[in-house]
Structures are given as C-alpha cells and as structure tokens.
A = this chain, B = another copy of it.
Amino acid sequence: MNCVLFFSVGAFLVVAHEDKILRSIPRFSPHRSRVRSTEVNRNPNVAPLKSDYTYRTLYFDQKIDHFGFAQDKTFKNRYLLADQFWNRNGGPIFFYTGNEGDIEWFCKNTGFMWDIAPQFNAMLVFAEHRYYGKSMPFGSDSYKNSSVLNFLSSEQALADFTELISFIKATIPGASKSPVVAFGGSYGGMLSAWFRIKYPNIVVGSLAASAPIWQFKDITPCNAFNDVASATWARVSETCVSNANKGYSTLEEVGANAAGLKFISSTFHLCDPLTSMADVKSFKSFLSDMYVDFAEVDYPYPASFLADLPAWPVKEACKSLLSPLSGKPLLEALAKVTNLYFNYTGAAKCVDWKGEGSTASLGYLGWNYQSCTEMVMPMCSNGTGMFYNMDWDFQAFSDDCFKQFGVRPRQDWVKHQYWGTDLSAASNIIFSNGDLDPWSSGGVTEYISESVVSILIKEGAHHLDLRASNQGDTSYVREARTREINIIKEWLELTP
C-alpha cells in the first residue's frame, strides 16, 4: 500500500507567480494528511475494513499507446480480481474504473461493490489507472518529462479498460458472455460514465458516483463548486460561514506583524511557522481547501476516507464557530476546526500546512498533469460564503502548466470528446451525487432521459453511495443504493 497516495489522491499545486497569485488546481480530495506524526493512529470509532475483501493482484500487458503505432511497447497494468462470488454461468463482471491513485485504496473504499457482489453473483475487477499506483508505463521514469507523460490521459485509460476487459473475457473460462457493469467515483466516476459513452460495446451500463463531468468551461460557472461547499456549511449555521469568511481578513490583520505571525503559527500548531504575508496568503488557501474537504467528506458516521473524522464533521467543526467572533478569538476557533480535521486522532505533533511539496508524490503530480492537459476545471470564488475572492485566470494557469510540464491545457477538448451536456445519445448511466458534495456542482443532477438517470442523495457527501453500508447510513443513501441496484438489475436483464 502506498501510504502517500493513500492520503493524497488528487492534487494540489501552489505556484508563486511574480505577482504573487496563488492558485490551486482543483482536486477531488484533500491534498495530503498534513500531519507530521510518529505514527498514524486509526480513528477508534471507525470500523476496520472488512476482512473478506480478498482479491488476487494481477497484471496485464497493456499497450503504452493505444492511439499511435510508433510506440509499440507495453507496460504492466495492475488490476485486482475477486471471483469468489462469481457465477461462471452468466454472472456479471463489476468493473471499477480506477482513479488518480493506488487501486488498492479504491478497492477497499468501494464497499458497495463488495456488498452487492454476492446477490449479483458478480466477479469484481478493480483496474488501476495508468501512471498511478503500480501501473507505471515507464517504471520510475514515468514522470521524467512531457515526452513520457504523453500517454497519461483519460482516453488512454478508457482504452486500457477496454483491452483489459477484452482480455479477461477471452481468457477466463465462462467470462466471455458475462455482461460488464462499470463503477466509479469522482474522477473514476467520470471515467465510468465516459466508458459507457464511448464504449457501450464493452460495458452495459455505468454507475458514475459524484462524477463532475460538467465541471468544465462554459458548462458550469467557476464559482459553483465553492458555492456548494459554502452551502454545506451554511446548513449547519450561517454564523459558521460568516466567521470562516471573516477569518481571512483577520488572518491578514493579525499576521501583519511578527508577533501576529507567531500567534497564528502557535495557535494553529503549524509545523512551519508563518514568516511573511505571502505565507499568510498560502495559509488562507490552505484553510479554504480544508473547508472544501470538510464538505466533501461530510459523512453521517465516523470515517477515515481522507482524514480520520467523526460523524457529520462539518456539524462538529461548526460547533466552534456558532457565535459571531473576531480577532484572535476567531483565529483560536478556526484553529479548533483545523485541529479537528488534521488531528482528530490526536496523533499529530503539528499541522503540516506546507505539506510535502507538489512533486513529492506521483499521485499529486499525475493529477496536476491531467489538470494541465484535458482536465481543466475552472474554479473561482466571488468572496462570499466560506471563501475569499479568487479569480479564474486561464492564461496564468496555462503558463504555469507550461512551466511545470512543458504542455498547454486544452480546455474545450473534454467537452468535445465526451459530449458535454448533449447526452441525448447516451444510455444506461446512473449519475449519483450528494447534495453536500462540492463536486455535485459539476455533476449531472438534472433529468436527461429514461436511461440516463440522475440520483441526488440528500445529505450525501462525496460518493457516499459507493461506500460500504454502515449502521450510520441515512435513509436517503439506502434508498439511492436500492434504486441503483434495481437499475443495474434491469440492465443485466435486458442484456441478451
């Protein structure tokens, strides 16, 4: 298990410009644990992952380039296979379309597939996305330069899934006639939707959970994402929101002198003390990211999805911010929120707000690269809610990408390639979204057609429905899962 990736799927890139603009690449999950500790304590309230999640780890020789022939070499594409529930006489294959990270992590955090495999007599396959985990096209050189990174794209990943499924069907006795259903959450959910869109010959249908396939230029306003995050906090208390927003100016006021910087650093238990106004700006960004992360993982039960947290963490965090605050008391209250997120288990010595640097993990770097090529998701804020004012400056973004990777983003391509909002020709896709999840802003939450179904899960955070069933589950997520199961059954029944 790659522990760095475990906590850092997604990406975070802070780039200091000449004009000191700080920006972050949108990401699906918290940037990193931000905890420096001697040991990582498990959240004692979280049930351990079920011991019957047993699978075989396998590798498939995948073409490095599916769309060109000059590069004919292959790499070892990792996948996990569990066939203990599978009925060889027609049982389906449930196929997880791996995200930007180690596939073992997604396998263990997608309990829904494990929960329903027995009733469907399904084989489970979890395919790792190229350039993540152990699926490195050029081994340790895979991130060396833009030339080797050239084959990191969603199109190549979908082609990988296509070839892997074709291989499984051709080689596993009994599998040739097994219908395949795609599952995915977050970027993996985008891939599962796009998989059905582009390769309906390979998958009979897709469950795309919390898949922001519309978080792109000219489709979703750049402030929508942050607006949902703010709304998630505002459900608990508007005061909570106004306190958080006030926190940014308070940080700048208090941090305007050396004593203030010291106060902030010690109040928030920062591993690296703030030493300048630039640090204050970075720290503002750090806090704003944390508010998003809280909303993303606002699960109804204690969970360790991306941080160890109690049930309903936003509500828990808000407790410190229920009355109007200002000055140092406000910062002390915000420090409690930060401590909740980054040190709920009490194992942290300090809060590692500077993190490990953007190049420390291939997980980050990979998503940064993808964000700098196809996955350009404009993000901004008008300064209301939980966030300070942040503009979206595509040119500056593009320049950063060129500086870091030698590539330029193509912000219209995903829309052209994957049909944008014109899903009239699509079929057999479930788009599920939780209304607490900031990513629902770019999700498909409107009626498309009888076979492209949108399920909005009330009080649902980021792909809550894909998680293992839990005693703390709301009736809303239980209903969503039941509906999903019934729709999947229909797909399978209609398959010849």
User: Cβ of B408 and Cβ of A72 under 8 Å apart?
Assistant: yes
A151 on interface, CB distance cutoff 8 Å: yes
Q: How far is B64's CA from A334's CA once the two chains are assembled, in angstroms?
A: 51
Contacts of A69 in B (CB 8 A): 146, 149-150, 153, 372-373, 407-408, 410
This chain's copy number in the assembly: 2
A323 on interface, CB distance cutoff 8 Å: no
Name A170's closest neighbour in chain B (CB-CB): B412
User: Cβ of B420 and Cβ of A201 under 8 Å apart?
Assistant: yes
User: Cβ of B146 and Cβ of A70 under 8 Å apart?
Assistant: yes
Q: How far is B65's CA from A407's CA once the two chains are assembled, in angstroms?
A: 12
A162 on interface, CB distance cutoff 8 Å: yes
A204 to chain B, nearest CB (A): 9
A49 to chain B, nearest CB (A): 34
A202 on interface, CB distance cutoff 8 Å: yes
A166 on interface, CB distance cutoff 8 Å: yes
Contacts of A413 in B (CB 8 A): 66
User: Cβ of A150 and Cβ of B68 under 8 Å apart?
Assistant: yes
User: Cβ of B200 and Cβ of A419 under 8 Å apart?
Assistant: yes
Query: Interface code A413-443, partner B: CB below 8 Å = 1, 0 otherwise?
Result: 1001101101011011000000000000000
Q: How far is B424's CA from A427's CA once the two chains are assembled, in angstroms?
A: 10
Name A147's closest neighbour in chain B (CB-CB): B70
Given contacts A422-B201, A427-B425, contact A416 B163 (CB under 8 A): yes
> Which parts of A249-274 form the interface with B (CB within 8 Å)?
none
User: Cβ of A416 and Cβ of B162 under 8 Å apart?
Assistant: yes
Q: How far is B159's CA from A412's CA once the two chains are assembled, in angstroms?
A: 12
User: Cβ of A416 and Cβ of B67 under 8 Å apart?
Assistant: no
Query: Interface code A125-143, partner B: CB below 8 Å = 1, 0 otherwise?
Result: 0000000000000000000
A202 to chain B, nearest CB (A): 7
Query: Interface code A150-179, partner B: CB below 8 Å = 1, 0 otherwise?
Result: 110101100100110010000000000000
Contacts of A424 in B (CB 8 A): 200
Given A67-B67, A199-B416, 13 further pairs, Cβ under 8 A: A68-B150, A68-B151, A69-B149, A69-B153, A69-B372, A69-B373, A70-B149, A71-B150, A72-B408, A159-B417, A162-B417, A201-B416, A425-B428
- A residues neighboring B (CB under 8 Å): 63, 66-72, 146-147, 149-151, 153, 155-156, 159, 162-163, 166, 198-202, 372-373, 406-408, 410, 412-413, 416-417, 419-420, 422, 424-425, 427-428
* 27 pairs from A and B in contact (CB 8 Å cutoff): A63-B410, A67-B67, A67-B155, A67-B156, A68-B68, A68-B150, A68-B151, A68-B153, A69-B153, A69-B372, A69-B373, A69-B408, A69-B410, A70-B146, A70-B406, A71-B150, A72-B408, A162-B417, A166-B412, A166-B416, A198-B198, A199-B416, A199-B419, A200-B419, A201-B416, A201-B420, A202-B416
